[in-house]
Amino acid sequence: MIRTHIKWNDFELNLFTLAFKPAFEKEFKERHFTRSLRQVRVAMLLSIAFFGIFGVLDAWIVPEVKHQLWVIRYAIFCPYVLAMFLFSFHSAFKPRMQLCIASIVALAGFGIVAMIMLAPYQSNNSYYTGLILVFIFGYTFFKLDFIYAASTGILIVIAYEIAAIWWANTPLPILINNNFFFLAGNLIGMFACYSIELSTRKEFIQARLLEFEKQKVHKANLELEHKVEERTGQLLRANKVLKQEIAERNRAEENVRESEAKYRSILESMQEGYYEFDITGNLKFFNDAFAAIVGYRRDELKDIHYRQFTASQARAKVFRAFNNVYVSHKPSKDFEWRIIRKDGAKRHLEASVSLVTSSEGLPNGFKGVVRDVTDRNLAEESLKNAYSELKRTQSQLVQSGKLASIGELAAGVAHELNQPLMIIRGHAQLTQRNIAKGQIGIEAISKQLEPIERNTKRMMRIIDHLRTFSRQSKAEYHALDINTVIDDSFLMIGEQLRLRNITVEKHLEDGLPQIEGETNQLEQVFLNLITNARDAITEKASEERGEDAPADVIAITTRRLESDQRYVEILFRDTGGGIKENDQGNIFDPFYTTKEVGKGTGLGLSISYGIITDHGGKIEIAETDSEGTTFRVVLPIAGSQTKNPPVEVENTRRIA
């Protein structure tokens, strides 16, 4: 029976394919690649050298076809092998090494077969030797696996047979002679390759078996050492236990004394009151802080029931807290305990309680900590009152800012109302005269009444807007169009800007998403910014006005923030004189103003800052220099669920 496999312990080698089981095959391939890579590279360089040097023989032996042969040598084979040599330094070469080497051997064989066919008869005899060299390189130097080497050798022989029979029509005696040498050389090479690989794999197996034996010996040594150490340790531990039992008895007594002293020291140094009640609620143990909190002497508190110093309205609540701990065996933290001290003072305590159990796990009492939080509660109440007063004062400041803005806008509002009144009066007088003279019909009267109705509606809109703006009411946020709010903000100040020859440029982006806000508050912010821009332009104009002075402009731009689509950005730019550097850090502080005495309260920008912050937005100086100032307001769109304004997005700040 023919043997197909060889076994050594866990190793099993297939004698036909010369392959191990997958796990060991992978390990062998890794080792074989590492050991043979350098030799493979040297073989590549040698094959380039030999194949290239023999080109001299082409010019000597067969000069008439040397160019065709040089194409095979120098244009095909040598560049290909050089490329494979360079590729061998790449990590992708490792899994493809056998295939790449086989391709080199095959290319060399096919090339020499082609040379044999191209060389003239008799001159081609020297090229047969080249095939023998290819077999030698392929089966030995290149470290090809037997399967790859045998397959490549057979392919070369087949290529020769095809070329010799169908292409060159080689005489039969020469063909038989050549086949004898080629087949013999191929078989010898296959046997050599098989023997080399079998020897290499056996060497690998012996090395691995030696490693296994070393590991077994090492493991046995470790086990023996472990047993010796374990037995020695047992003897040492037994001796140590005897010594420790005596020492532990002495230490236990000392530890009990130290623990009692430490426990008492900790309890007495605590600022919180510590207590222990029995299961019925009688006080069994406490520290000095507890006695100080409840206002009794230590001798008066011994065995006293907790109900004696607990306020009557709080006794049921304290009982429930203790009972819940008794039933659930879970601690209760920070429940309120109102007491009445011996001197009659009422105090609020914050208490915790947990269950005390016996060694058998049965409940036999309660323990816990109390702290007096009366002063803290009073302070919190004072803070709440102060906060309420602060909010009320803030509301008054906002309302004062509105009234101040209305006072400044009075002249503009009067002019806004005076113009439609004049139109109404003129059309009314004209209609009255025409009616008295009987020179007008019903259709003409109706046409003359249209301007009266249109201007009346305009006046009503201005008055309603002024009344709504001045009203003090609770802020109610709702979705609104920021462009509409800006347009409405100019109703009461637009005429003032026209009278001062200030051009208003609006660049309001269409289709902006709505924001969540309060209309009156945002109008107040925009009026404050427009008023400040107007005053800055007026002040600069009074100092620098000349024939070549540029036009006075207030530009308002709205757009959706490109860097954060959850926000809308509003820019207010004026052509005033800018804000001085030493004023920029305080511009939003309450009562800080750069205007002359009597011309500003210093509340406009401060109130605006508070309103924008309450809206979850941001207001800042985006740019200021001698050519003007740009204020930047960022507000979140409705439904964006954001609370904090974006940090320094699209920062255009330039302070001159």
Q: What mean pLDDT comes out for the span 166-177?
A: 71
Q: Is the pLDDT of residue 597 over 50?
A: no
pLDDT of residue 656: 28
**DSSP track, 461-506:** HHHHHHHHHH-------EEE-HHHHHHHHTTTTHHHHHHTTEEEEE
Does residue 413 register a pLDDT over 70?
Answer: no
Q: Residue 619: pLDDT above 90?
A: yes
The label of the residue with tokens 């904090």 reads: 644
Task: Look at residue 549 and tell me whether its pLDDT is greater than 90.
Answer: no
pLDDT band at 652 (very low <50, low <70, confident <90, very high): very low
For residue 285, what are its two tokens?
């143990």
242-251, 307-316, 376-385: which has the highest mean pLDDT?
A: 307-316
Coil vs helix vs strand at 407:
helix
Using DSSP's 3-state secondary structure scheme, residue 274 falls into: strand
Choose the most confident range, by mean pLDDT, from 454-463, 551-560, 574-583, 635-644: 551-560
What's the mean pLDDT in 638-644? Answer: 66
- Tell me the pLDDT tens digit for each residue of 295-353: 888 888 888 888 888 988 888 888 888 888 888 888 987 788 898 888 888 888 888 89
The answer for residues whose C-beta is within 8 angstroms of residue 347's C-beta and 6 or more apart is: 293, 338, 339, 340, 341, 372, 374
**Distance from C-alpha of 306 to C-alpha of 304, rounded to nearest angstrom:** 7
CB-based contact 16:4 (threshold 8 Å): yes
Q: Please state, rounded to an integer, the average pLDDT across all residues of the chain.
A: 77
Residue 509 structure tokens: 């982006």
Please compute the mean of the pLDDT values over residues 420-432 and round it to a whole number.
Answer: 67
Q: Mean pLDDT across the stretch 158-182?
A: 73
